[in-house]
Amino acid sequence: MINETNYQISLLTAMNNRLEKDESMYRMLCQTSDNAFMYYNYAEKRTVFLGNWSRFFPFTAEEYKSVSQILECVEESCQSEVYNCLMPERNSVRKATTTFKMKDKSYWIELETNVYYDEMQQPVEKILCFKDITKFKIQNDELSYMAYYDSMTGLLNRNCFISRLRAMIERAEESRNMVSVLFIDIDGFRKINDGMGMMMGDEIVQLFGQRLKGLEGEKIIISHFNSDIFCIGVYDPCGSRSVEHIIDTLKSNLAEPFNLSNGAEVTLTASIGIAEYPESSKEALELINCAEIVMFKAKHKGKNVVQYFDSPIIQEFRNNVIIERKLDKALKNQHFFMCYQPQYHTDNCKLRGVEALVRWKDEEGNIISPGTFIPLAEKNGAILPLGDWIMEESIAEFTNWYRKYGFEDVILSLNISALQFKNRNFVSHLLRVIDRYKIPTHLLELEITESVFIEDMQDIINKMNILRELGIRFSMDDFGTGFSSLSYLRNLPIDTLKIDKSFIDTLVTDEPTRTIAETIIDLSKKLGFNTIAEGVEDEVQYSLLKKIGCENIQGFYLGKPMEGKQIESMLSDMVS
């Protein structure tokens, strides 16, 4: 019996030593952890604190009296949720988790509570684990910020804006309200960016975004889309949220110059396109697209312009998109052909020359007006390959006539776009074409518009001088419709001024127009230029132009644009 007792004592002693060692090991593990643990036994009403408790709370295990001490350390907005997590047994919950911010400290805590129940579903034990998740929270917040906000301006990024705009539209559909979208583009930003550098350009975008940010509200969302493009969404636009009020506020904000870090001051304006749900579209992306399209219309009208959605504008834009696609295909498949409009000497109606005019017949056989596709070609850069084709085709055909009929006083006039003339390879390409077909240079005249001189005027003049030295003539097309400064006119190496059709249309009926035309003709003579009147359509106009001394005319009265075969027949009759 004694041996049995000694055995039991030894066994219990060994088990107790083992438990003490295990407890010591567990305590060491908890103490080396960054977490804090609290164990509670319901039957014994015993609380045990383990781990790095002092890191989280300003009291020790001996000072702990109740859960309220923990709650006092938690931000007030989180206290209710934390209490429920501390006491999950109140709702027979086995496991609860929450995150909260400490009231007097800058870190975030994750709390996990596990409750263990007996067979009667009564709580027996529970353990609470407090974990510092501040680093994870910061990283998560940074990722969330990157996912929803633009790093340059602090405004919503495009994806987040679209998502919230969709929510606005869904809400508006339920409540039968409106949603307005304002698409905003900084005027002249490319020139500012190129002139001051990208760093200053980014700073301007940041400052612009800050001024927009002041418009944000519960029902107003603002986004930086990219570069100098911003977008505003407004739910139920009325009162202080009305589009008109927002625009007035924005313009008032922009009236103050932007002070840059390099000491420069910049005053900005913006072009704005506006579209509204449900009138313009019922879908977020389409609504933004409508606002963007009418913004481009505002840009076309000039700076600091606001343009509201209008169905014809959208239809015009879509038609232009279709034509641009067709234009690309037409360039590849050469669906263009040349026509030539005769020009005549006013005094004797003898042929002065022909102006080369491109025409386009699409695959369906429809003739598309140059007034439609030429501006689009200039806008998207297609004018460069198209201009090269026109130059090659017309010079080849004209040289063939010259060799056949031997004339020495008929001029081929070629329209050269500003983009084409500014191309650094223009002069060399033209000279190669001239050399290929051996056209006498004195029979070649290049028509340019005033817009070619808007940027880098001296470079343009240098190119003109090179070509004039080779015998090529220059005429100024559409004179009087651009900036028409007399101070630069005297320095330009041109031979001819073309009086725009808009003057000729009212020449007979409007005295001021006739005075302007007479002044242009008189000025041209004094400067040594010839004049050509465009759009002469009847005998009365012709007679008046002849009377006031215009040397040459062009228009339907004496000759409509003709295909090459008709011009060749005319030349044949002229020399026979």
More confidently predicted of 297 and 312: 297
The predicted model gives 214-222 an average pLDDT of 90
pLDDT for 31: 54
Residue (of 499, 475, 466, 517) closest to 353 by Cα position = 475
The predicted model gives 312-335 an average pLDDT of 79
The predicted model gives 453-474 an average pLDDT of 88
Judged against a pLDDT cut of 70, whether residue 32 lies above it is answered with no
pLDDT for 367: 86
Write out the H or E segment, with its range, that includes residue 338. Answer: strand 336-345
Looking at mean pLDDT, say which of 140-149, 161-170, 302-311, 357-366 comes out highest.
161-170
pLDDT for 523: 87
Judged against a pLDDT cut of 90, whether residue 441 lies above it is answered with yes
pLDDT for 52: 80
pLDDT for 190: 85
Query: Residue 63 — very low, low, confident or very high, per pLDDT cuts 50/70/90?
Result: confident
Q: Hey, what's the torsion of the CAs at 254, 255, 259, 263, to 10 degrees?
A: 140
Query: Residue 484 — very low, low, confident or very high, per pLDDT cuts 50/70/90?
Result: low
Residue (of 42, 287, 35) closest to 165 by Cα position = 287
CA pair distance 21, 19, nearest whole angstrom = 5
pLDDT for 51: 82
pLDDT for 171: 93
pLDDT for 199: 87
Judged against a pLDDT cut of 80, whether residue 433 lies above it is answered with yes
pLDDT for 530: 93
Residue 175 sits at φ, ψ, to 5 deg, of: -100, 0
pLDDT for 576: 67
- The one-letter amino acid at 532: I
The predicted model gives 444-448 an average pLDDT of 95
pLDDT for 348: 93
pLDDT for 59: 79
- The string of DSSP letters for 378-392 reads HHHTTHHHHHHHHHH
- The string of DSSP letters for 32-87 reads HSSSEEEEEETTTTEEEEEESGGGT-SS-TTT---HHHHHTTB-GGGHHHHHHHH-
Alpha helices in 103-221 (DSSP H): 134-148, 158-175, 189-196, 198-213
pLDDT for 142: 66
**Residues above pLDDT 70, as percent of the chain:** 91
Range with the poorest average pLDDT among 48-62, 65-79, 217-231, 265-279: 48-62
CA pair distance 113, 283, nearest whole angstrom = 46
Judged against a pLDDT cut of 70, whether residue 11 lies above it is answered with no
Query: Residue 239 — very low, low, confident or very high, per pLDDT cuts 50/70/90?
Result: confident
pLDDT for 141: 67
Q: pLDDT tens for residues 381-412?
A: 889 999 999 999 999 999 999 999 989 999 99
Range with the poorest average pLDDT among 114-128, 225-239, 364-378, 556-570: 364-378
Using DSSP bridges, classify how beta strands 46-51 and 36-41 pair: parallel, antiparallel or unpaired: antiparallel
CA pair distance 470, 519, nearest whole angstrom = 31
Residue 506 sits at φ, ψ, to 5 deg, of: -115, 15
CA 252, chain centre distance (Å): 23
pLDDT for 207: 92
- The string of DSSP letters for 143-168 reads HHHHHHB-TTTSSB-HHHHHHHHHHH
The predicted model gives 36-64 an average pLDDT of 83
Q: pLDDT tens for residues 328-387?
A: 888 888 889 999 999 999 999 999 999 999 999 888 888 888 888 888 888 888 899 999
